[in-house]
Amino acid sequence: MTNRKDQVGIHGSSPALKFVGGIFRRPLNTPLALLLLFAACGERPRPSANVVPATDSPVVMPAVSRKVSSADVVKASASDLEIAGGGSSDAVVHIAISPGYHINANPPTFPYLIATAVEAGPSQGITSDKPVYPAPVTRKFSFAEKPLAVYEGDAVIKLPLRATGDAAKGARIIRLTLHVQACDDSTCYAPAAINSDLHLTVK
């Protein structure tokens, strides 16, 4: 007697197996048959759980904070100057200090504070004298027990220069360097040397 399960055969199977059965009833070459078998029974690849779907919006990274330096909040410049041979004149150095910051006066209130100072680089036939610093203002800050003498806003330093009698006539550039330490109400920042160019003409 023939078993009922044997009679069902492929006709009682899934559509995929019916399709495969139909394949093997036809004379096909072996590689093509295997290819069709995998196509009929295989599953589509599922996306990995680790794959992040692409989006049209760019990713915004958090801003990285940067420490303030003295050179960020203090700027220096010098006015053009003319000196007659054998004569002298004052170079005028302009200091611009950002609001909310200050620099120490010269002389400073305490010896351990870094005073504001300016110096001129070497230039043949030109000599410099002691700078004249502006009058400071007195302020009380949270990091100091006593009020301090400081410069705020705009300040002017005068640097006396002298040209020797044999100094070469004509225009030249002298490098000026301003040494400062900027502070706010609670913190002092690393000192900085700020350079500026003095355009000097010897007549």
What percent of the chain shows pLDDT beyond 90?
Answer: 63
pLDDT, mean over the chain: 80
Q: Is residue 60 part of a domain?
A: no
Q: Is residue 185 part of a domain?
A: yes
Q: Are residues 28 and 79 in the same domain?
A: no
Q: Is residue 107 part of a domain?
A: yes
Residue 119, domain extent: 71-202
Q: The domain spanning residue 187 has which CATH number?
A: 2.60.40.1250
Omega of the bond leading into 107 within 30 degrees of 0 (cis): yes
Q: Are residues 186 and 112 in the same domain?
A: yes
Q: Are residues 120 and 197 in the same domain?
A: yes
The pTM for the full model equals: 0.67
Q: Are residues 143 and 197 in the same domain?
A: yes
Q: What is the reported pLDDT for 143?
A: 87
What's the domain count of the chain?
A: 2
Q: What is the pLDDT of residues 16-64, one digit of tens each?
A: 445 445 544 555 455 555 555 555 555 554 554 444 444 444 444 333 3
Q: Are residues 77 and 115 in the same domain?
A: yes
Cβ neighbours of 14 (radius 10 Å): 10
What whole-number distance in Å separates Cα of residue 106 and Cα of residue 14? 96
Longest dimension (CA), the chain: 136
Q: Is residue 104 part of a domain?
A: yes
Q: Is residue 98 part of a domain?
A: yes
Beta strands per DSSP E along the chain: 74-78, 81-83, 88-97, 102-104, 117-120, 126-128, 137-139, 148-151, 154-163, 170-180, 182-183, 192-202
Picking from 118, 201, 106, the residue whose alpha carbon sits closest to that of residue 158 is 118
Q: By the 8 A CB rule, do 151 and 83 touch? A: no
Q: Are residues 27 and 99 in the same domain?
A: no
Q: Is residue 97 part of a domain?
A: yes
Q: Are residues 30 and 82 in the same domain?
A: no
